[in-house]
């Protein structure tokens, strides 16, 4: 049986469309409550650097995100990724997590720890050696 090139092209389009329908029918990633696929991971940064925490979530849109530092909501941290900005020594050991919510529920990520590399303190300046004053001589008369 001879098929023309157009017929083969049309048949391949139909097969691709059918496969797409099958795959999309099996896709449950966007139909339920939020489910965390990839948790935030611990980060390390030096003083003055910034770092990014991220999460990968499946669930029915729209998904709302709220990042927290040590359990306290962070202002305007409402995206799948959160950038810390320049870290300080006081940030060492802080934990970050995110609460993800949609119309069907919410889930909280595991906390991720921020490790801040603190540079060693500079050595003290060298002590200046004091010159000994020459002893005063008594003049004899």
pLDDT tens column, 28-55: 557 899 999 999 999 999 999 999 999 9
CB-count burial class (<10 Å; 0-12, 13-18, 19+) for 109: buried
Rg (CA), the chain: 32
Among 64, 61, 57, 73, which residue's Cα sits nearest to residue 109?
57
For residue 45, the 8-state DSSP code is E
What's the pTM value of the predicted model, to 2 decimals? 0.68
pLDDT tens column, 64-84: 999 999 999 999 999 999 999
Other beta carbons within 10 angstroms of residue 67's beta carbon come to 24
In the predicted structure, residue 109 carries a pLDDT above the cut 90? yes
Report pLDDT for 20.
46
Domains defined along the chain, listed by start: 30-117 (2.60.40.10)
């Amino acid at each position: 049986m001879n098929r023309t090139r157009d017929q083969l092209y049309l048949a391949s389009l139909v097969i691709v469309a059918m496969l797409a329908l099958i795959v999309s029918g099996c896709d449950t990633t966007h139909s339920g409550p939020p489910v965390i696929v990839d948790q935030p991971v611990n980060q390390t940064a030096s003083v003055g650097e910034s770092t990014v925490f991220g999460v990968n979530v499946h669930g029915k849109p729209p998904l709302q995100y709220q990042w927290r530092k040590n359990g306290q909501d962070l202002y305007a941290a409402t995206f799948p990724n959160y950038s810390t900005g320049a870290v300080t020594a006081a940030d060492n050991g802080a934990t970050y997590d995110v609460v993800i919510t949609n119309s069907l529920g919410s889930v909280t990520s595991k906390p991720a720890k921020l490790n801040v590399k603190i540079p060693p303190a500079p050595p003290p300046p060298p002590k200046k050696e004091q010159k000994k004053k020459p002893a005063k001589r008594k003049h004899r008369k």
